[in-house]
């Protein structure tokens, strides 16, 4: 099934005028964003809307002794100052666990802390006022008396019996542990010619969505309905959770999600302050708006990664990898995040290490511990960069040890392209991957041999450049195996309803959401192609639980693969319904007719027979002229979720070419390449830009981004000036290539591409830096690769 | 609180009279008082560039400027530049190249890009990257933006793409 054509002809008649699948077409509706006429949640204003500002704990761990809000309540414009226990009257606490992650535990968490604060930034009171400025002024007058407690910050110390336990009721600070042992690991290591081990350290970082989290909650007491305007990736999940904890029926909650200013997994969760905002609206019977400021974003948006992973690899002199072993430790802050839980990432690391390679021998332990730092949870490419960096770092170390070229060792160990279906050492089932085709394409795109030659010429002139390669697998199109089996009410299926309106235009309602990936575009492309109408006739509605089918939304690279297939199936039904009516009107048969360019045509000669607008006119306004008993249905709905494979695995490979200044420790990225196999490509440009954006997020983690905490649990760089993210001047051009292995789980054949860039970028950069530093015998297995880390490894500081 | 101050300015060519608190920044004034929500706030401390607008012809970070400082000034926002057609070609290059994803950085990016093209009509890729380095984009990876600006520069100066 693997081919190297960029545009696979998956559907029939793709070369017709309205065939958009596989073609680059501009996204509809970009004009409103470019003219500043979008509607982000931070722009939403409602009559009588009040603003909430949260008073947040300055301590990482403390008891709340008392709160004095009376001076604040006297301030101009103040509507209410609400404590955690007052808010508890309208919203119940929650515990972020899932039953399929056996043994995962967490403590009950409240919308606003009651008695006990567990991280710096946890909200202890809410100040609601007529304007944000008034609320901020009053918040300064809320005095909170704390009794500071010892803070658990180092994740290694968290499990030490001498360390304070954050939640007494849990007994210790271990949230979750998973052990995996496959094959004959000890024997494999014993039979290896070389065994290499290293400890990999990953900095805690965060998403920095350019638009901070924002929510407007509007409880209408007369309708007994709560409308939540929120930039979320999963509106139906928000609906479910809000209803559950406010004691409402789901039908009493509507979630509306217009434009979203970046998400990357940051906005797939539900945060305590968002829950508090819903509850405040209910309590105060008026719309309440919360917009995080940037400092709050750093302190409360989920953080990501923060792993220390010991890894070991065995290798034979001929390059055969014999075994992998890892021991991963990760700190998740004081609570497992709700409702997706913070153990998914470590679980994913266990799943993915060694994934691209043939060896069956794999042992893993992952432990997830509580700390008094901000909560940590799923962020773009959950677990992938950790697993990829450890795996690919070990593979490079093994290659170095036996003196083999990094590309060659991969060629000898990557699962063969004709070996599928097969399973990974951790038991993941692969339908069809293309590691070798991808690697060959990458080597050719980058002209590997020429780069190696250039590298050695320059090295003679004391210019230190490195090449790093990283192969990876990527989890996409998740089924219920992700959350549903664990009891979370997060839909894994998505639905699409598509209809022909009275003037021959097409309205399509989908449960996937848009945060800039191009969900609207890919949906319109699929609908237009299948129906035979031009894209400008298709309007896509999404992000509104009142007006879309029930579904999961856009996360874990599922929009195109799951939502796209639902769109395809729904449109096929509509198409059939239209042709049935057309056959009746034209006294023909449906089989003799087709739809092309907004008109029903005769199959044999393509002659136009009736415009869709005319057909719609007859159906809606002159149904009396149709044959008796005929009731045309110009609307169809279909849902989809993959059933046979719990995930559609994709694969890819990245390479980085960079230069290290050995005097300053600065790294200059010169070029980056990616080859990815995401199955059917619906819009090549959108896929490539998704990948580029993902790569740059991965490069940020590799080189710059880190949430720096001190030993008291204070986040010391909670602003954009001190927390560095990639900027245009530092980023290289990124070449993207494709191999196409469509999944047979769906007719469309699309798999996801959203995580690929982030999954492999840090590994490629780290391997390239180690390659550049080879003459100095320095090996670094820590990110971010700051000048300090590099100069330390070079023993220059 | 301090008393309000009367200011009078031109915003996108329209005369605006307002009474504002001295502490009100220009971004909040545009967004909250004039409901011009195209100017975005990403950081409120002058780092991300999302709030970039033009004051008397120069681009500024409206989160770092006070509304009272714009008394008698000429302020132009993304809505104004869009309606006048001044950046229609740049916007169309952004559309063709998918140089935006969530679009939150885009008004600021377009402002900064137009500023560059006015100052130096034939920038190379490095200069474009350099000039846009004060504008964060978390979605795109920047390359598409650089491509779109480069295409516009070439088209404006009559060079072939
Ligand atoms: S909001 Fe003004 S620079 Fe970020
Ligand atoms: S497009 Fe989202 S921040 Fe630039």
CA distance A205 to A785: 13
**φ/ψ (deg, to 5) at A264:** 55, 30
**φ/ψ (deg, to 5) at A400:** -60, -45
Residue A526's H or E segment, with its range, is helix A519-531
Minimal CA–CA distance to B145: which of B113, B111, B102?
Answer: B113
Which one of B42, B47, B101 would you pick to mutate in the ligand 2 pocket, going by the greatest count of ligand atoms within 8 A of its CB?
A: B101
3-state secondary structure of B101: coil
A264 part of contact set with chain B, CB < 8 Å: yes
3-state secondary structure of A238: helix
Which ranges in A285-405 belong to alpha helices (H)? Answer: 294-300, 344-352, 384-402
Minimal CA–CA distance to A720: which of A379, A301, A294?
Answer: A294
Token representation of residue A441:
């394409």
* Ligand 2 midpoint to CA A266 (Å): 14
pLDDT (average), residues A359-364: 96
Residues of A in contact with B50 (CB under 8 A): 210
3-state SS, A648-700, equals EEEEEEEEEEEEECCCCCCEEEEEEEEEEECECCCCHHHHHHHHHHHHHHHHH
**φ/ψ (deg, to 5) at B2:** -70, 160
Cβ < 6 Å from ligand 1: which residues? B 41-44, 46-51, 61, 63
Counting ligands in written order, the one closest to the CA of B62 is 1
* Ligand 2 midpoint to CA B142 (Å): 9
Residue B148's H or E segment, with its range, is helix B143-156
Which one of A259, A262, A266, A697 would you pick to mutate in the ligand 2 pocket, going by the greatest count of ligand atoms within 8 A of its CB?
A: A262
Residue B59's H or E segment, with its range, is strand B58-61
Inter-axis angle of helices B88-97 and B106-119, nearest 10: 120
Instruction: Provide the shortest C-alpha distance from residue B102 to chain A (in Å).
Output: 4
Residue A325's H or E segment, with its range, is strand A321-331
DSSP characters for A333-356? -SS--TTT-SSHHHHHHHHHTTTT
Test B135 with A40 for CB contact under 8 angstroms.
no
Is pLDDT at A550 greater than 70 in this prediction? Answer: yes
CA distance A128 to A122: 17
| A1 C-beta neighbours (distance < 10 Å), count | 15
Looking only at the bridges linking them, the beta strands covering A194-206 and A782-783 are parallel
CA distance A186 to A320: 16
Q: Any idea which residue has 């060896």 for tokens?
A: A359
Asked whether A82 and A280 are in contact (CB, 8 A), the reply is: yes
Atom 3 of ligand 2, residue of closest alpha carbon: B137
Chain B residue with CA closest to A520: the answer is B101
**φ/ψ (deg, to 5) at A272:** -55, -40
* Ligand 2 midpoint to CA A11 (Å): 33
Q: Any idea which residue has 């409103």 for tokens?
A: A32
**What separation, in Å, do the N-terminal and C-terminal C-alpha atoms of chain B show?**
56
B42 part of contact set with chain A, CB < 8 Å: yes
Q: Which of residues 31-90 of A touch B (CB under 8 A)?
A: 31, 33-40, 42-43, 45, 76
Burial class from Cβ neighbours inside 10 Å (0-12, 13-18, 19+) for residue A236 reads: buried
CA distance A708 to A438: 37
Write the residue in B45, B105, B130 that is nearest to A729 by C-beta.
B130
The predicted pLDDT at position A15 comes to 63
On whether the pTM is more than 0.90, the answer is: yes
**φ/ψ (deg, to 5) at A622:** -130, 50
Atom of ligand 2 nearest to the CA of A261: 2
Angle at CA A710, nearest 5°, toward A707 and A714? Answer: 75
Test A733 with B128 for CB contact under 8 angstroms.
no
Looking only at the bridges linking them, the beta strands covering A321-331 and A362-369 are parallel
List % helix, strand, coil for chain A (3-state, nearest 5): 30, 25, 45
Is pLDDT at A558 greater than 50 in this prediction? Answer: yes
How much of chain A, in percent, has pLDDT values that exceed 90? 91
Residues of B in contact with A518 (CB under 8 A): 98, 101
Counting ligands in written order, the one closest to the CA of B50 is 1
Test A30 with B100 for CB contact under 8 angstroms.
yes
Over residues A753-795, the pLDDT tens digits come to: 988 999 999 999 999 999 999 999 999 999 999 999 999 999 9
Counting ligands in written order, the one closest to the CA of A210 is 2
**What separation, in Å, do the N-terminal and C-terminal C-alpha atoms of chain A show?**
53
Instruction: Provide the shortest C-alpha distance from residue B68 to chain A (in Å).
Output: 17
CA distance A403 to A399: 6
Test B138 with A40 for CB contact under 8 angstroms.
no
Residue B108's H or E segment, with its range, is helix B106-119
3-state secondary structure of B121: coil
Looking only at the bridges linking them, the beta strands covering A635-640 and A608-611 are unpaired
DSSP A94: B
A259 part of contact set with chain B, CB < 8 Å: yes
The predicted pLDDT at position B161 comes to 59
CA distance A520 to A512: 9
Chain A residue with CA closest to B101: the answer is A516
Minimal CA–CA distance to A62: which of A138, A110, A127, A114?
Answer: A114
Asked whether B44 and A293 are in contact (CB, 8 A), the reply is: yes
Q: Kindly list the strands in the beta sheet with A593-596, ordered across the sheet, starting from the edge strand earlier in the chain.
A: A593-596, A599-602, A608-611
Give how far Cα B57 sits from Cα of A99, A221, B24, B112, Å.
Answer: 60, 49, 22, 12
Segments of chain B with pLDDT less than 70: 1, 160-161
Instruction: Provide the shortest C-alpha distance from residue B54 to chain A (in Å).
Output: 14
DSSP characters for A57-92? -SSSSEEEEEEE-HHHHTSTTEEEEEEHHHHTTT--
Minimal CA–CA distance to A81: which of A48, A51, A126?
Answer: A126
The predicted pLDDT at position A646 comes to 85
Cis-peptide into A3, omega within 30 deg = no
Is pLDDT at A397 greater than 70 in this prediction? Answer: yes
Looking only at the bridges linking them, the beta strands covering A303-315 and A194-206 are antiparallel
Write the residue in A39, A293, A516 that is nearest to B139 by C-beta.
A516
Counting ligands in written order, the one closest to the CA of B139 is 2
Over residues A293-341, the pLDDT tens digits come to: 999 999 999 999 999 999 999 999 999 999 999 999 999 999 999 999 9
The predicted pLDDT at position A11 comes to 43
Q: Any idea which residue has 């007529």 for tokens?
A: A130
Prediction ipTM score: 0.97
How much of chain A, in percent, has pLDDT values that exceed 70? 98
Cis-peptide into A784, omega within 30 deg = yes
Cis-peptide into A99, omega within 30 deg = no
The predicted pLDDT at position A10 comes to 44
Token representation of residue A99:
């039953």
Minimal CA–CA distance to A22: which of A746, A679, A747?
Answer: A679
Residue A466's H or E segment, with its range, is strand A464-476
The predicted pLDDT at position A14 comes to 57
The predicted pLDDT at position B145 comes to 98
Q: Kindly list the strands in the beta sheet with A116-117, ordered across the sheet, starting from the edge strand earlier in the chain.
A: A116-117, A62-68, A143-148
Asked whether A561 and A752 are in contact (CB, 8 A), the reply is: yes
Asked whether A150 and A164 are in contact (CB, 8 A), the reply is: yes
Asked whether A1 and A744 are in contact (CB, 8 A), the reply is: yes
Cα B2 vs. chain centroid, distance in angstroms? 30
Cβ < 6 Å from ligand 2: which residues? A 210, 262, 516; B 100-105, 137-140
Test A40 with B144 for CB contact under 8 angstroms.
no
Give the contacts of B63 (CB within 8 A, at least 6 positions apart). B25, B26, B27, B41, B43, B44, B45, B46, B51
Cis-peptide into A339, omega within 30 deg = yes
Give the contacts of A453 (CB within 8 A, at least 6 positions apart). none
Atom 3 of ligand 1, residue of closest alpha carbon: B46
Is pLDDT at A496 greater than 70 in this prediction? Answer: yes
Asked whether A524 and A508 are in contact (CB, 8 A), the reply is: yes
Write the residue in A33, A293, A696 that is nearest to B106 by C-beta.
A33
Test A34 with B142 for CB contact under 8 angstroms.
no
The predicted pLDDT at position A538 comes to 97
């Amino acid at each position: 099934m693997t081919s190297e054509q960029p545009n696979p002809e998956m559907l029939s008649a793709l070369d017709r005028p309205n065939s958009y699948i596989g073609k680059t077409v501009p996204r509809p509706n970009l004009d409103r964003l470019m003219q500043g006429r979008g509607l982000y949640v931070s722009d939403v204003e409602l009559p009588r809307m009040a603003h909430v500002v949260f008073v947040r704990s300055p301590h990482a761990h403390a008891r709340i002794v008392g709160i004095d809000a009376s001076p604040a309540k006297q301030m101009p414009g103040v509507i209410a100052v609400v404590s955690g226990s007052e808010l508890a009257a309208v919203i119940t606490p929650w515990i972020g666990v899932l039953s399929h992650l056996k043994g995962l535990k967490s403590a009950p968490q409240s919308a606003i802390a009651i008695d006990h604060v567990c991280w710096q930034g946890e909200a202890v009171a809410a100040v609601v006022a007529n304007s944000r400025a008034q609320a901020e002024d009053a918040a300064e007058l809320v005095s909170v008396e704390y009794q500071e407690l010892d803070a658990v910050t180092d994740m290694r110390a968290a499990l030490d019996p001498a360390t304070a336990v954050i939640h007494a009721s849990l007994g210790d600070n271990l949230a979750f542990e998973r052990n995996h042992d496959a094959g004959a690991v000890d024997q494999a290591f014993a039979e290896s010619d070389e065994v290499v081990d290293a400890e990999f350290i990953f900095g805690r970082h965060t998403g920095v969505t350019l638009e901070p989290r924002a929510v407007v909650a509007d409880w209408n007491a007369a309708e007994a309905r709560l409308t939540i305007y929120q930039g979320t990736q999963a509106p139906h999940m928000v609906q479910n959770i809000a209803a559950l904890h406010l004691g409402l029926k789901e039908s009493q909650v509507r979630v509306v999600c217009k434009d979203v200013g970046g998400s990357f997994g940051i906005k797939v969760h539900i945060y305590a302050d968002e829950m508090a905002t819903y509850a405040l609206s209910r309590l105060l019977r008026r719309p309440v708006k919360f917009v995080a400021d940037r400092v709050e974003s750093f302190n409360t948006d989920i953080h990501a990664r923060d792993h220390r992973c010991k890894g070991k690899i065995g290798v034979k002199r001929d390059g055969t990898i014999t075994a992998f072993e890892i021991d991963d430790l990760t700190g998740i802050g004081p609570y497992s995040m709700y409702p997706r839980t913070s153990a998914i990432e470590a679980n994913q690391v266990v799943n993915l290490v060694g994934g691209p390679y043939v060896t069956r021998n794999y042992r893993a332990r992952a432990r997830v511990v509580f700390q008094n730092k901000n909560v940590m949870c799923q962020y773009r490419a959950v677990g992938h960069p950790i697993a990829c960096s450890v795996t690919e770092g070990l593979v490079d170390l093994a290659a170095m040890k036996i003196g083999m070229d990094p590309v060659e060792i991969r060629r000898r160990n990557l699962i063969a392209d004709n070996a599928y279906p097969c399973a990974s050492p951790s038991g993941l089932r692969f339908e069809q991957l293309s590691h070798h085709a991808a690697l060959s394409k990458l080597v050719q795109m980058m002209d590997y041999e020429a780069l190696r030659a250039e590298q050695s010429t320059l090295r003679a002139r004391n210019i230190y450049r490195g090449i790093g390669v990283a192969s990876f697998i990527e989890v996409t199109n998740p089924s219920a195996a992700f959350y549903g089996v664990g009891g979370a009410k997060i839909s894994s299926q998505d639905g699409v309803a598509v209809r022909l309106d009275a003037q021959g235009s097409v309205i399509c309602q989908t449960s996937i959401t848009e945060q800039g990936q191009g969900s609207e575009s890919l949906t319109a492309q699929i609908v237009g192609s299948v129906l035979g109408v031009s894209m400008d006739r298709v309007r896509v509605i999404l992000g509104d639980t009142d007006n879309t089918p029930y579904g999961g939304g856009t996360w874990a690279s599922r929009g195109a693969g799951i939502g796209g297939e639902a769109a395809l199936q729904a449109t096929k039904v509509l198409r059939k319904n239209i042709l049935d009516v057309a056959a009746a009107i034209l006294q023909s048969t449906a089989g003799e007719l087709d739809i092309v360019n907004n008109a029903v045509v005769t199959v044999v000669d393509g002659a136009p027979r009736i415009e869709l607008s005319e057909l719609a006119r007859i159906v809606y306004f002159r149904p009396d002229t149709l044959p008796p008993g005929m009731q045309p249905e110009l609307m169809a709905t279909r849902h989809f979720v993959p059933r046979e494979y719990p995930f559609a695995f994709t694969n890819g490979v990245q390479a980085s070419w960079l230069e290290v200044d050995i005097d300053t420790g600065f790294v200059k990225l010169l070029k980056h390449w990616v080859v990815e196999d995401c199955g059917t490509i619906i819009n090549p440009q959108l896929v490539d830009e998704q990948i580029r954006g993902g790569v740059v997020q991965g490069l940020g983690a590799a080189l710059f981004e880190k949430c720096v905490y001190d030993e008291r649990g204070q986040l010391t760089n909670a602003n954009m000036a001190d927390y560095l993210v990639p900027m245009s001047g530092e980023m290289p051009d990124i070449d993207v290539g494709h191999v196409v292995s469509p999944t047979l789980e769906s007719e469309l054949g699309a798999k996801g591409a959203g995580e690929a860039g982030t999954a492999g970028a840090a590994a490629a950069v780290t391997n390239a830096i180690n390659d550049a530093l080879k003459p100095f015998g320095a090996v670094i297995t820590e990110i971010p690769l700051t000048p300090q880390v590099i100069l330390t490894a070079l023993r220059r500081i | 609180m301090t008393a309000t101050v009367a200011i009078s300015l031109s915003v996108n060519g329209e005369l605006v009279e307002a009474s504002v608190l001295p502490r009100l920044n220009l971004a909040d004034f545009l967004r909250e008082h004039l409901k011009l929500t195209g100017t975005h706030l990403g950081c409120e401390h002058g780092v991300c560039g999302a709030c970039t607008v033009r004051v008397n012809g120069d681009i500024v970070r409206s989160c770092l400027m006070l509304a009272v400082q714009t008394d008698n000034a000429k302020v132009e926002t993304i809505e104004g530049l869009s309606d006048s057609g001044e950046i229609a070609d740049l916007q169309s290059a952004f559309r063709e190249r998918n140089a935006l994803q969530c679009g939150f950085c885009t008004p600021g990016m377009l402002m900064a890009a137009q500023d560059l093209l006015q100052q130096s009509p034939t920038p190379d890729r490095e200069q474009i990257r350099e000039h846009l380095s004060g504008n964060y984009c978390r979605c795109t990876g920047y390359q598409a933006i650089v491509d779109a600006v480069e295409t516009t520069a070439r088209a404006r100066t009559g060079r072939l793409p």
